[in-house]
Structure 1
């Protein structure tokens, strides 16, 4: 990994000025000694400038991130790009190959394993290897997510602003991605998340969510592509997009879980504003009886994510994610 003048090398991808290069980076090894790799794409602009790191598929089924990267690159004019966009398409290639949220080999959530460890378990090692590259070269980072198979997410962004200069830069980055919902989370709420680990190393970073529930829509893909364009414009890597997106500001995230088992019937929608007592969904058993009604426990909140409709749930399963509104 190196940046020398107008030449950028990330893994096997080697990009000169005004080129896009494709390659791989090695994140570990299989038992037979062959490399565990992730595809990487490096877009090098016509002029020198900042480096934006973009990654997807921290969770295996969340394909909207890589598709958003593809959509961004398909319309990118290198003659207007100042600097470099580095795109790691599968931050967790093992989970991606197995279509699982967590790493199959050790059961770990990669988004709780950052910044990783050079002598840690497999997920910690993969996190360490990609994070070490990113934190050395990047001026800012985007972590693209799409809710996984179980949750449908409203288009929103997580960041951490503690009032410091770095916090304000992360807040500006969050506003730049074009999401209608912004969630400023405490640093201890998502320990091991990639975007918080970047911030801990002095790099503004955000986590962008859109989609999920075992499906991807064209809107989800465009949301992620727009996030990259917006972040690049903020860094003055691309011309500014003057289209403003009205946004709601949320605080810490609350995870709402079922206490009964059955089939989940939603009665609210992702992105909906709720007040205390509003119904979110019902758990119905196989006799057709309502055994639990899930309600908003906050005074006022917006519904960041909701369980996929008519999905069987265990007692203790996540039903919804709520963010407090002032």
Structure 2
């Protein structure tokens, strides 16, 4: 069912206005107008709203902030399709495709300006397309949301198990225990605590991430990474749906799951792993495992089979992600590992 708005009114209505106008007990599917292409084709974001009959929090789900990250879109779609608005307390809002031109182009970044959308928040209503897209999503979240889940996947060249990332946003942000209590509903392999200024992260404006900007506003927010990009992975999608159902129960929006989540492996220091030699990377470890000290993450060999480099660590590490594509050049990433961790058991 569409929102009861005329096309012209709907074109002008921002996300929070559309959420406010949605009828209680109904599911609506509309769009947010962001701009136009040179051809005149509109640039729009799909907006899904499931509004319950009872009062409750607003849970906002965002997907495809990178256009090649697919599993989150499908997890959001499946979760929203399974909601019963008559038995829902509060509202679930979703922007499942927040980077539509990148999705259509099968690219990570916004093709029109080559910007990383998840380094562009809070955005601007008078900037490049990445800023316009970020503004369209963030303005609605700023006005309406209580809890935000931003779905990602790992690079398409890598494999990983579902895991979580949450940011250290300083004073005024929700506490770590509250964040981990929500994160634990997804039973992630690890939950990585990230500083946006950490030298171990990739270059760029990490403070422009959606979840970090939400935390700075005092909203509970985190990232869920659902496997690898540019493909659908049914197990990862199911993991996302199950986590959303448990999270909604945790927030009191639907009947709570009787099964309580277990402890979380909290990673407090992590790093990308780079190859020094070009050649062919051969995996010796698997994502979602603990790699003992001295055991190889993998080898880099030349075309004749000669070993050019063996990648090991002087300590045990958590293998968060590992490269599947064997073709590597000097400086390419071959892994992503946790270096320091503990087990969080809740309050």
The reply on whether 1:188 has 2:197 as its aligned counterpart is yes
Deviation string 1:247-268 (CA, Å, 9 cap, x unpaired) is 3121133111111222221111
Q: Residue 72 of structure 2 aligns to a residue in which SS?
A: helix
Structure 2, gaps ≥5 residues long: 4-12, 199-205, 343-347
User: Does residue 218 in structure 1 map to residue 234 in structure 2?
Assistant: yes
Instruction: Name the residue aligned to 1:179.
Output: 188
Instruction: Indicate which of 89, 92, 114 corresponds to 1:107.
Output: 114
CA distance in 1, matches of 2:171, 2:259: 27
Which stretches of structure 1, 4 residues or longer, exceed 3 Å deviation after superposition? 8-14, 161-165
- Residues 1:116 and 2:133 aligned together: no
Within 5 Å, which residues of 2 pair with 1:144-293? Answer: 144-161=151-168, 166-168=174-176, 169-189=178-198, 190-212=206-228, 214-246=230-262, 247-293=264-310
Are the structure 2 counterparts of residues 62 and 16 from structure 1 closer, same or farther at C-alpha, using a change threshold of 3 Å?
A: same
Separation in 2 of the partners of 1:93 and 1:36?
A: 8
Displacement after TM superposition at 1:234 (Å) = 2.3
Contact 1:102 1:108 in 2 (8 A): yes
2:70–2:229 Cα contact (<8 Å) kept: no
Query: Which residue of 304, 317, 320 maps to 2:332?
Result: 317
1-side partners of 2:258 and 2:120: how far apart?
Answer: 37
Structure 1 residue 9: deviation in Å?
7.8
**Pairing 1:24–2:31 present:** yes
Q: Secondary structure of 1:118's partner?
A: coil
5+ residue gaps, structure 1: 3-7
User: 1:75 — aligned with what?
Assistant: 82
How far is the alpha carbon of 1:203 from its aligned partner? 0.7
Distance 1:165 1:63 in 2: 29
| Alpha-carbon spacing, 1:45–1:200, altered in 2? closer, same or farther (3 Å) | same
TM-score, normalisation: structure 2: 0.84
1:116 and 1:252, CA in 2 relative to 1: closer, same or farther beyond 3 A?
A: farther
Q: Please report the RMSD computed on the Cα atoms of aligned residues, expressed in angstroms.
A: 2.4
Tell me by how many angstroms 1:34 deviates: 3.6
Q: Provide TM-score, normalisation by structure 1.
A: 0.89
1:214 CA displacement: 4.2
Contact kept? 2:31, 2:47, Cα under 8 Å: yes
Contact 2:151 2:223 in 1 (8 A): yes
How far apart, CA to CA, are the structure 1 residues paired with 2:116 and 2:321?
18
Distance across 2 between alignment mates of 1:291 and 1:124: 43
CA deviation map 1:34-61 (0-9, x unaligned): 4211212111112121111101111112
Residues 12 and 25 in structure 1, CA contact (< 8 A), matched pair in contact too: no
Structure with the larger strand share? 1
Instruction: Provide the residue aligned with 2:9 in structure 1.
Output: none
Superposed CA offset, 1:42-87 (max 9, x none): 1111212111110111111211011101211232222221011111
Equivalences, count? 318
Of 252-261 and 173-182, the range deviating more from structure 2? 173-182
Identify if the C-alpha distance between structure 1 residues 178 and 238 changes in structure 2 by more than 3 Å, giving closer, same or farther.
farther
| 1:93 correspondence with 2:100 | yes
CA contact (8 A) 1:180 1:245 kept: no
Q: CA deviation at 1:148?
A: 3.5
